[in-house]
Amino acid sequence: MNNFYSHLDLPSEEIISSCIHCGMCLQSCPTYNLTFDELSSPRGRIRLIKYVAEGKLQLTEKFAYEMNFCLDCQACETACPAGVKYGSLVEAARVQVEHSEYTSSLSRLIKKVAFRKILPNFKYLKLFAKLLRFYQNSLIGKFAAKILRVISKKLYEVNRLAPRVSSFFTDEIFPEKIQPLNEKKFTVLFPVGCLMNVMFAEENKDTIELLTKLGCEVIIPKKQTCCGSLPAHNGDLEQARKLAKATLESFKEYDFDFVISNSAGCGAFMKEYKHILKDDKEYSSLAKKFSDKVKDITEFLYQNYDFTQFKSEEPLDITYHEPCHLVHTQKVSNEPKLILLQIQNLNLIPLNEATWCCGSAGIYNVVNYEPALKILERKMNNIKNTNAKIVLTGNPGCLGQIRYGKEIFNMNVEVLHPVTLLNRIIKSGDLK
């Protein structure tokens, strides 16, 4: 086979050939629904990937565009009757694009600095976050926003889109081991995450408090790094594997029952360790042991606790947006909703197209701002139609994107991680 790919991480021929071209995935694809162009559909992209692999088509600008136009939301995987693992296919294709002439040197440099220097090193990450926090809270930030508004609407919006840096960092306010507030039931490892640590520290705090109220000893591994999820989804599988190994190294000194994730993207990727390292002699068995213990927080809570004893102080109309990496990648869909349905005084209103991407998709909303905005508008209209006062979602990207949507579409809705609502409702000592 004379393929036109140049990098080692090739799209799998086995996956390519598992597609039977039935088209059942088309209607579930947000990018196909924007363009109605076959090449922007899962089936069309699989054909492109196949033709380049077979040497029938060069790796062209159009190919690069379509791979990056895809959200990697994996809704097509859920819809596919043949079980095509489309996500790993597009991620491998993105690696090829990253090594082609269709990725600019500047974009490559930015990704390299972000994925290889800043995210894995918590010292640099926190320094960067502190500078960003200063910028966001200072007159300079406000002044810069005014200037951007005049010179470029897009840059102005991207500037608004960046989540605000938290007033504290999770790993600086909690010790390595946090004791349960009730009789101990489990010991859990809690990776604080790279972006979660500095931009969603409140949600991390809620997670830790909730777990300790429910009888968990929580361990925050001291030598943590980024789990590798962001580089994996953006064409740098080599760095993602390196970070997966570093994560396994930093966690192996502890005894624990579960690894708890409150970020759908990170949880999904940590569950993948056993697949991406299956041929690695040194790490394959450790990766398998580790991945098998990874649970999304809602999955863990639903499987181990009964929530019928809990009651919201006031009746609340809520709705739930399903993060792609939770519903489509991890197949965790019923668990969060069943927990919410168990709690008294919560009225869970079904969200139309709850499993449709919100447009965040890692850094997609920054690099593909316009299509991401259209996808977000559809999501916000669906949320508006529920009349819910609170929308819940368990992924930092979705939280940031829907909070941005609430601002620009001027909506009166609170956007929370499910753990925040649960932590508000469940008081210390409630557990029977």
Distance (Å, whole) CA 48 – CA 93: 10
| The one among 49, 67, 84, 398 contacting ligand SF4 by CB under 6 A | 84
Which segment (4-12, 24-32, 258-266, 333-341) binds ligand SF4 by CB under 6 A?
A: 24-32
C-beta of 15 vs 220, nearer to ligand SF4: 15
Which segment (78-86, 179-187, 410-418, 419-427) binds ligand SF4 by CB under 6 A?
A: 78-86
| The one among 63, 86, 115, 122 contacting ligand SF4 by CB under 6 A | 86
Distance (Å, whole) CA 76 – CA 191: 29
**Residue 425: what are its φ and ψ, rounded to 5°?**
-80, -40
**Residue 284: what are its φ and ψ, rounded to 5°?**
-60, -45
Residue 50 lies near ligand SF4 (rule: CB under 6 A): no
Output the smallest distance, CB 1 to ligand SF4, in A: 21
Distance (Å, whole) CA 3 – CA 55: 4
Q: CB of 237 within 8 A of CB of 275?
A: no
Residue 23 lies near ligand SF4 (rule: CB under 6 A): yes
C-beta of 268 vs 413, nearer to ligand SF4: 268
Residue 82 lies near ligand SF4 (rule: CB under 6 A): yes
Output the smallest distance, CB 36 to ligand SF4, in A: 13
| The one among 9, 15, 42, 198 contacting ligand SF4 by CB under 6 A | 42
**CA 243, 247, 251: angle at the middle one, nearest 5?**
170
Distance (Å, whole) CA 364 – CA 19: 26
Residue 74 lies near ligand SF4 (rule: CB under 6 A): yes
C-beta of 90 vs 165, nearer to ligand SF4: 90
Distance (Å, whole) CA 350 – CA 33: 22
C-beta of 74 vs 382, nearer to ligand SF4: 74
What lies within 8 Å, CB to CB, of 106 at 6+ separation is: none
Distance (Å, whole) CA 426 – CA 181: 12
Q: CB of 362 within 8 A of CB of 265?
A: yes
Binding mask 95-124 for ligand SF4 (x = CB under 6 A): ------------------------------
Whether the CA torsion 9, 83, 355, 35 is positive or negative: it is: positive
Residue 75 lies near ligand SF4 (rule: CB under 6 A): yes
DSSP 261-322: ES-HHHHHHHHHHHHHTTT-TTTHHHHHHHHHHEEEHHHHHHHH---TT-EEEEEEEEEE--
Total of chain residues touching ligand SF4, rule CB under 6 A:
27
| The one among 3, 11, 25, 322 contacting ligand SF4 by CB under 6 A | 25
Distance (Å, whole) CA 325 – CA 425: 26
Which segment (79-87, 189-197, 247-255, 256-264) binds ligand SF4 by CB under 6 A?
A: 79-87
Residue 346 lies near ligand SF4 (rule: CB under 6 A): no
Output the smallest distance, CB 78 to ligand SF4, in A: 9
Residue 380 lies near ligand SF4 (rule: CB under 6 A): no
Give the footprint of ligand SF4 on this chain (CB under 6 A): 19-25, 28-31, 42-43, 45-46, 70-76, 79-80, 82, 84, 86
